């Protein structure tokens, strides 16, 4: 039995550290927090100075029991959790939950998992920093009070099951605000003028310095330029440098993996977790850009051996984020000589990105020479500018270029310019004036939302991905692609002394995998903003973080801070949930129908709906759901009235009535209690009985082909043809048909024994396949 027990947070970390320490050490992990407030109830004794009612988390009872046993036997227990607010709290909870004598515990900290760092930590133990723990308790209790008092207000005043919190509600607000900016955006047109020139045999492009306001101005200029003479009047060479980006943090890794590899935030984290567990990279949840000395040396050696001394440049980076707690290193390869790794292609690609980014961060600047040539013309004062860029020394660009969120409108590709001298005349082959439109701010992607949250100091590396999935699960936002609309634009062209006009069309407003608010998200956001402005303020987290810091410095008692926050907050909660506050439904009156009945749209118990007529009127109002693609803020009176044209009755088929309507999954025909989706080309408002019968018959034919075998004696069991081949189903649970059996010839007895075997194996059954849970193959 080892004399020493050292406890860290992550099992993978425990394995690594165990190798660094000798036989005298057993290294175990707590697997994160072990105690927390209870899930049910507020869990804070408000009357009793906000005393938290901690309990061992349900999924940690086993770990705690094991650690307790080991701690009892050990001579010394080393609490080696992270050196940040949460890590300090975990150490403190361990001390209490394991019931160890404080005298035989030591608190140790390190910022990197390297042998020298671990040994140095062991050599310099300290005690638990209670002030830091208190700052964590303040954070925890504040989040609980806000989340668990605000959410019930939403259940009463908006819709049951909703949630609100310090982080998620602001994340939703960002998306709602942005959506409104985009929809309110007024596109203003302007003209951009491009000249296509020749200098001797070489061709190049230059742009008019000034943008023109309208078509008249553009036409005037082009007419004036007929027969103009173009002369080079200035030429400047500007040397410039480019510096590599810092190594990855969680947030920057998520952004780059999204831009370069198209991964979602959670996908990136899943892959990174796997790379970390296999020992290929350092810890993936970090806000630090710091590299250990070991890493700096390793990267340098690799740059030297691959590219030579000219390319090596050791750099250290400082974090820009004020909220950073820097308990870990940046995300980097553990071994720089491994340029490639074994694994799935996703893993290889993400590793490659991490390797390149880290190596590039330790390489020389790129040296670039920019050339700017000014071309004047004889017809007016307006000048054309041509820019060229030549790389003198590629430096880190040999390995890595960071990509950019704003990739659109980068039409001025900068390249090599031909050699030109001042006073040289150049020839214009063509001058084009193209109509352009100003752009609204871009909608958020998952990754750009993370970037924004980090900049505001909201959320932590471990919560970015879960936060995004929470606000999706609550139905506040959706990630989707939307088709754009066509827009006409004008191009004027001056060629061979003639100006021609052309009208072209382009697609505008198309979005791919962007975040949009739902109607629920908008109503909840507006409600919270109206009543809880303080919490919805983008600076709320920053303010409370400042207070947590003063608690951590020992200058303030955590319960005082909470008390001061809670009193007015709770008062607002009471007032807002009382009967005096009206339910929030986001109701809009759209107008009146032909009979003068009121038409309105609002958020009902089951989602967005339109209402025709009033509830206190003689005849009851009619209701209809909004269909996919319709939104409460943008639906028109005409669109709303259209919704009441459904359901339509189409007549009978086999003595049963057919009706057509639109549901959650689009238009459908209903017949004899069954639903038949309308194909895209059919319009629910005009489709006729004949066509509906066709649709019903087609589906019935497909259903028939799906069935391989049924048994008269046991109608619950069916052998069916599915997406993944033949399978068996009983009482909505599915079973595999053994590969060596012919599904068409299985007997009922064989089926029953297969089902019995499968049930005995004890694996939990799923009623349906859940996508997104696929286990990576190859293991």
666 touching DNA, by CB under 7 A: yes
Site for DNA contains 723 (CB under 7 A): yes
CA 384/CA 356 separation, integer angstroms: 39
Select the residue interacting with DNA from 48, 160, 503, 686 (CB under 7 A).
160
Closest distance between DNA and the C-beta of residue 677, in Å? 5
Number of H helices, E strands in the chain: 20, 30
**Is 84 near DNA (CB under 7 A)?**
yes
- Asked if 490 and 503 count as a contact pair (C-beta separation under 8 A), the reply is yes
List the interface residues with DNA, window 313-372 (CB under 7 A): 325
CB of 166 to DNA, least distance (A): 5
> Binder to DNA among 245, 462, 539, 581 (CB under 7 A)?
462
Residue 770 within binding range of DNA, rule CB under 7 A: yes
Residues forming the active site: 283
CB atoms within 10 A of CB 337: 10
Q: Is 461 in the site for DNA (CB under 7 A)?
A: yes
CA-CA-CA-CA torsion sign (90, 94, 97, 99): negative
- Burial pattern 90-110, b for ≥16 Cβ within 10 A else e, equals bbbbbbebbebeeeebbbbbb
Which of 615, 681, 686, 731 is in the footprint of DNA by CB under 7 A? 615
Tokens describing residue 489: 């634009």
- Does position 734 bind DNA by CB under 7 A? yes
Integer-rounded Cα radius of gyration of the chain: 33
Q: How far is the CB of 733 from DNA (least distance, A)?
A: 9
CB closer to DNA out of 40 and 488:
40
Cα–Cα dist 273/267, whole Å:
10
The interface with DNA within residues 6-25 (CB under 7 A) comprises 9-13
Q: Does 451 bind DNA (CB under 7 A)?
A: no
Peptide bond into 647 cis (omega under 30): yes
Which of 14, 167, 173, 130 lies closest to 78, judged by CA?
14
Residue selected from 166, 205, 398, 432 as contacting DNA according to rule CB under 7 A = 166
Q: What angle do helix axes 61-73 and 85-97 make, rounded to 10 degrees?
A: 70
Interface with DNA, residue 664, by CB under 7 A = yes
- 519 forms part of the interface with DNA (CB under 7 A): no
Residue 103 vs 620, nearer CB to DNA: 620
The least CB distance from residue 496 to DNA, in Å, is: 60
Among 109, 551, 624, 687, binds DNA (CB under 7 A): 624
Two tokens at 169?
């509600």
Element (H, E) at 736: strand 733-736
Whole-number Å distance between alpha carbons of 387 and 371: 6
Q: Which stretch binds DNA (CB under 7 A): 124-132, 190-198, 688-696, 720-728?
A: 720-728
Total site size for DNA, rule CB under 7 A:
93
- 3-class secondary-structure state, position 676: strand
Q: Is 163 in the site for DNA (CB under 7 A)?
A: yes
One DSSP character per residue, 18-54 reads HHHS-TTEEEEE--S--EE--SSS--EETTTTTEE--
Using rule CB under 7 A, residue 459 touches DNA: yes
Give the strand pairing for 607-612 and 511-517.
unpaired
Question: Residue 406 Cβ, how far from DNA at the closest point, in Å?
Answer: 28
CB 342 within 8 A of CB 778: no
Residue numbers 30-59 binding DNA by CB under 7 A: 31-33, 36-37, 39-41, 57, 59
Q: Is 645 in the site for DNA (CB under 7 A)?
A: no
Q: Does 188 bind DNA (CB under 7 A)?
A: no
Least distance in angstroms from the C-beta of 240 to DNA: 39
723: buried, middle or exposed (CB in 10 Å: 19+, 13-18, 0-12)?
A: exposed
675 binds DNA (CB under 7 A): yes
575 binding DNA? (CB under 7 A): no
- The answer to whether the beta carbons of residues 621 and 613 sit under 8 Å apart is yes
Considering only residues 471 to 490 of the shown chain, the ones binding DNA according to CB under 7 A are 474
463 binds DNA (CB under 7 A): yes
Closer residue to DNA (CB): 171 or 386? 171
Residues 593-612 that bind DNA (CB under 7 A): 604-607, 609
Candidates 188-196, 226-234, 562-570, 665-673; binding stretch for DNA (CB under 7 A): 665-673
| Residue 743 within binding range of DNA, rule CB under 7 A | no
């Amino acid at each position: 039995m080892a004399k020493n027990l050292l406890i860290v947070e992550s099992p993978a970390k425990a394995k690594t550290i165990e190798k660094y320490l000798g036989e005298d050490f057993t290294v175990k992990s707590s697997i994160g927090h072990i105690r927390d407030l209870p899930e049910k109830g507020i869990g804070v004794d408000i009357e009793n100075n906000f005393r938290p009612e901690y309990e061992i988390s349900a999924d940690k009872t086993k770990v705690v029991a094991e650690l307790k046993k080991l701690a009892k036997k050990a001579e010394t227990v080393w609490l080696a959790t992270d050196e940040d607010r949460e890590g300090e709290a975990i150490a403190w909870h361990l001390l209490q939950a394991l019931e160890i004598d404080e005298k035989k515990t030591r608190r140790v900290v390190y910022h990197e998992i390297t042998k020298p760092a671990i040994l140095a930590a062991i050599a310099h133990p300290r005690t638990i920093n209670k002030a830091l723990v208190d700052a964590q308790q303040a954070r925890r209790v504040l989040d609980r009070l806000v989340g668990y008092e605000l959410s019930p207000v939403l259940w009463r005043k908006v819709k049951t099951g909703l949630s609100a919190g310090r982080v998620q509600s602001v994340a939703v607000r960002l998306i709602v605000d942005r959506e409104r900016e985009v929809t309110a955006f007024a596109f203003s047109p302007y003209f951009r003028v491009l000249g296509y020139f020749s200098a001797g045999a070489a061709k190049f492009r230059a742009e008019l310095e000034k943008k023109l306001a309208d078509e008249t101005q553009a036409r005037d200029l082009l007419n004036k330029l007929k027969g103009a003479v173009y002369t080079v009047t200035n030429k400047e060479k500007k040397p410039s440098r480019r510096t590599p980006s810092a190594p990855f943090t969680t947030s920057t890794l998520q952004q780059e993996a999204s831009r370069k590899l198209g991964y979602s935030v959670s996908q990136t984290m899943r892959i990174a977790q796997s790379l970390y567990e296999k020992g290929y990279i350092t810890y993936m949840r970090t806000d630090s850009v710091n590299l250990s000395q070991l890493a700096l040396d390793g990267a340098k050696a690799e740059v030297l051996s691959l590219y030579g001394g000219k390319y090596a440049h050791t750099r250290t980076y400082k974090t820009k984020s004020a909220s950073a707690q820097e308990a870990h290193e940046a995300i980097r390869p553990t071994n720089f000589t491994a340029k490639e790794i074994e694994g799935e292609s996703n893993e290889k690609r993400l590793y490659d990105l991490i390797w390149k980014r880290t190596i590039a961060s330790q390489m020389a600047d790129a040296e670039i020479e920019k050339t700017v040539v000014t071309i004047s013309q004889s017809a007016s004062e307006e000048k054309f500018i041509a820019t060229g860029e030549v790389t003198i020394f590629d430096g880190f660009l040999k390995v890595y270029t960071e990509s950019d969120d704003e990739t659109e409108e980068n039409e001025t590709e900068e390249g090599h310019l031909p050699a030109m001298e001042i006073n040289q005349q150049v020839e214009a082959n063509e001058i084009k004036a193209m109509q352009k439109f100003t752009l609204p701010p871009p909608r958020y992607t998952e990754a750009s939302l993370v970037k924004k949250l980090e900049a505001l100091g909201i959320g932590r590396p471990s919560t970015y991905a879960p936060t995004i999935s929470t606000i999706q699960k609550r139905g506040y936002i959706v990630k989707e692609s939307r088709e754009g609309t066509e827009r006409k634009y004008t191009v004027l062209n001056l060629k061979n002394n003639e100006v021609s006009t052309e009208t072209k069309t382009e697609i505008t407003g198309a979005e791919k995998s962007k975040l949009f608010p739902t109607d629920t998200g908008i109503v909840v956001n507006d409600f919270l903003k109206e009543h809880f402005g303080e919490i919805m303020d983008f600076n709320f987290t920053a303010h409370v973080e400042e207070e947590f810091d003063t608690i951590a410095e020992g200058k303030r008692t955590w319960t005082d801070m909470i008390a001061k926050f809670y009193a007015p907050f709770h008062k607002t909660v009471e007032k807002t949930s009382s009967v005096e506050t009206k339910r929030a439904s986001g109701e809009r009156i759209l107008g009146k129908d032909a009979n003068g009945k009121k038409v309105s749209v609002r958020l009902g118990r089951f989602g967005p709906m339109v209402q025709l007529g009033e509830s206190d009127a003689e005849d009851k109002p009619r209701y209809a759901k909004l269909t996919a693609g319709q939104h409460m803020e943008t639906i028109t009176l005409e669109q709303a009235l259209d919704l009441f044209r459904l359901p339509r009755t189409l007549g009978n088929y086999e003595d049963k009535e057919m009706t057509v309507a639109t549901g959650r999954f689009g238009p459908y025909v209903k017949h004899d209690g069954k639903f038949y989706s309308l194909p895209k080309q059919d319009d629910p408002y005009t489709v006729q009985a004949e066509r509906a019968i066709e649709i019903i018959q087609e589906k019935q034919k497909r259903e028939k082909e799906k069935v391989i075998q049924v048994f008269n004696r046991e109608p619950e069991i069916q052998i069916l043809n599915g997406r993944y081949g033949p399978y068996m189903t009983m009482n909505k649970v599915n079973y595999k048909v053994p590969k060596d059996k012919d599904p068409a010839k299985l007997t009922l007895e064989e089926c029953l024994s297969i089902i019995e075997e499968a049930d005995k194996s004890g694996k939990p059954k799923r009623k349906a396949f859940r996508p997104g849970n696929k286990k990576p193959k190859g293991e």
